[in-house]
A and B are shown apart, each in its own frame.
Chain A
Amino acid sequence: MLRPRIMPCLLLKDGSLVKTVKFDNPSYVGDAVNAIKIFNGKEVDELVLIDISKKDIPFDVIRNITRECFMPLCYGGSVRTIDDMRKLFQLGIEKIIVNTLLFEDRQTVEEAIKLFGSQSIVASVDIKKNFWGKDRIYRHSSKKTVDLTPIEYIKSLEELGVGEILLYSVDRDGTWEGMDTSIIKEVCKRSHLPVISCGGAGEIKDIQDSIISGSSGVALGSMCVYSKKNMGVLIRFPKQNEIDKIIRNYENM
């Protein structure tokens, strides 16, 4: 039996760890390399690292992380070329998250899948409700939604051949209000790709809800870097026995 994966999702900006709310207002939460070493010590299932600087890939920071962290690392942010990807894999990154490339240069993504295998390429799918409250795909570059439903978009990604979906709810990001289980359910039902859901988790029960909705993995942002909502920075992770308990609950369903 494959265990659902629970993982920190950490944001990097100019070499520091930050946390956003609804993809905006990044606040400083600490030194990235130190934080990641702490998560490595906690033997987390996997770790998602996204650089939101919109500059060059921070290879030095990544090198410092991969030298001492022996867990699956998934990196996204400013990845543009096959050469970028090759460098990241050589440093010990396991999977690469693509987002902007999916809009601007699918040919490179296709080539990457051919070269490195579909399991190495994760498509980040950011979802935001539009003016009429409908779920639509969100683009960072324009900070706007585009007129594509999540299912239409994900079907095109299946065709492209990506290995996994990072399903990110922009509206829930940093809110602690719980995950958007209705969209998670819909996507997991309609797609054969494994889904890591992200955005909104504030307590253990939210993780369980996401797993029950079909997520293969759940990524935690605020819950891993703050002690509580509106409280101070604290690098933390749910205890293994808490995770075991929700996974047991799920397996016994």
Chain B
Amino acid sequence: MIGIVDYGMGNVGSVESMINFLGYHKTKLVKSPEELRLVDKIVLPGVGSFDNGMGNIIHSGWLGELHHNVIEKHKPILGICLGMQLLMEKSEEGNQSGLGFVKGECKKFNFSNTSLKVPHMGWNQVKPIKTELCKEDSRFYFVHSYYVECDNKEDIMLETTYGIKFTSGISKDNIFGVQFHPEKSHKYGMKLMENFINL
């Protein structure tokens, strides 16, 4: 069973639709933290700001259960967009601490070249450094103003170039995150989602 964490931060519907479309019907919108114990894989989606996301996670009591299921029970988790950023320790976007499952922080794109717009929005090329979820160069849909910087290079799964080379995917043991939106990336996203389901 794949649990999609519904913590009030957006695009749960499209993630669920895609997993169902792939013919994998065992999805569950997880609306309360205890229900995480019923699933074996977790998707943490998210659209919105860092503090709002962490605020919702803290106030609705997700913190302990996420820690229990991901760190103690080693259930695979896939953070998408803001969901990936929340896996880190902190962000320049806010004051809240992140989940801290992966060491590093989120930084804001800051370009002196004004032809590079922020947010980084659109389709861009993704290059696998590690191939757990994405085996070959693919294009994915991005919408974000902040990017993840890992303390440990070995946690970098995917890379993308936008003004600078940045980390567009992370992986550390059972913990995965992608900055782009697989659920909005046609067949490329389906492939990635399928690879996560089949881990």
**A120-B117 CB under 8 A given contacts A72-B181, A89-B11:** no
Contact of B185 among A5, A68, A70, A73 (CB under 8 A): A70
Docked Cα-Cα span, A136 to B162, in Å, equals 34
Docked Cα-Cα span, A89 to B122, in Å, equals 18
Docked Cα-Cα span, A194 to B120, in Å, equals 9
Q: Indicate with 1 or 0, residue by residue over A21-48, a CB within 8 angstroms of chain B CB atoms.
A: 0000000000000000000100101100
Residue B52 at the A interface, CB < 8 A?
A: yes
Q: How many residues of B contact A (CB 8 A)?
A: 38
Docked Cα-Cα span, A2 to B186, in Å, equals 17
Q: Is the pair B48, A120 in contact by a Cβ cutoff of 8 Å?
A: yes
B contact residues around A193 at 8 Å (CB): 117
Residue A130 at the B interface, CB < 8 A?
A: no
Residue A15 at the B interface, CB < 8 A?
A: no
B contact residues around A5 at 8 Å (CB): 122-123
- Counting chain A CB atoms within 10 Å of each CB, the highest count among B13, B48, B145, B181 belongs to B13
Q: Is the pair B184, A72 in contact by a Cβ cutoff of 8 Å?
A: yes
A contact residues around B21 at 8 Å (CB): 67-68, 70
Residue A148 at the B interface, CB < 8 A?
A: no
Residue B143 at the A interface, CB < 8 A?
A: yes
Interface residues of A in 54-70 (CB under 8 A from B): 66-68, 70
Q: Is the pair B14, A92 in contact by a Cβ cutoff of 8 Å?
A: yes
Interface residues of A in 156-210 (CB under 8 A from B): 163-164, 192-194
Contact of B114 among A70, A90, A192 (CB under 8 A): A192
Residue of A whose beta carbon sits closest to that of B186: A43
Residue A71 at the B interface, CB < 8 A?
A: yes
Q: Is the pair A2, B123 in contact by a Cβ cutoff of 8 Å?
A: yes
Residue B121 at the A interface, CB < 8 A?
A: yes
B contact residues around A116 at 8 Å (CB): 10, 47-48
Q: Is the pair A216, B47 in contact by a Cβ cutoff of 8 Å?
A: no
B contact residues around A94 at 8 Å (CB): 11, 14, 47, 143, 181, 184
**A164-B121 CB under 8 A given contacts A1-B161, A90-B10, A92-B11:** yes
**A90-B184 CB under 8 A given contacts A2-B124, A216-B117:** no
Contact of A163 among B12, B82, B119 (CB under 8 A): B119
Contact of B13 among A40, A90, A95, A194 (CB under 8 A): A90
Q: Is the pair B49, A216 in contact by a Cβ cutoff of 8 Å?
A: no
Q: Indicate with 1 or 0, residue by residue over A103-137, a CB within 8 angstroms of chain B CB atoms.
A: 00000000000111111100000000000000000
Docked Cα-Cα span, A90 to B15, in Å, equals 10
Docked Cα-Cα span, A5 to B143, in Å, equals 13
A contact residues around B10 at 8 Å (CB): 89-90, 116, 120
Residue of B whose beta carbon sits closest to that of A89: B10
Q: Is the pair A217, B48 in contact by a Cβ cutoff of 8 Å?
A: no
A contact residues around B124 at 8 Å (CB): 1-3
B contact residues around A95 at 8 Å (CB): 143
Q: Indicate with 1 or 0, residue by residue over B142-181, a CB within 8 angstroms of chain A CB atoms.
A: 0111000000000000000110000000000000000001
Residue B18 at the A interface, CB < 8 A?
A: yes
Residue B190 at the A interface, CB < 8 A?
A: yes
Residue of B whose beta carbon sits closest to that of A87: B13
Residue A212 at the B interface, CB < 8 A?
A: no
- Counting chain B CB atoms within 10 Å of each CB, the highest count among A73, A94, A114 belongs to A94
Docked Cα-Cα span, A194 to B47, in Å, equals 19
Residue B17 at the A interface, CB < 8 A?
A: yes
Instruction: Return 16 A-B CB contacts under 8 Å, by A number.
Output: A2-B121, A68-B21, A70-B14, A70-B21, A70-B184, A70-B185, A71-B141, A71-B184, A95-B143, A114-B49, A114-B52, A115-B49, A117-B49, A117-B82, A164-B119, A193-B117
| B interface residue numbers (CB < 8 A to A) | 10-14, 17-18, 21, 47-49, 52, 82, 114, 117-125, 139, 141, 143-145, 161-162, 181, 183-187, 189-190
Chain A to chain B: the 5 pairs with minimum beta-carbon distance, closest first? A92-B14, A92-B13, A119-B119, A89-B10, A194-B117
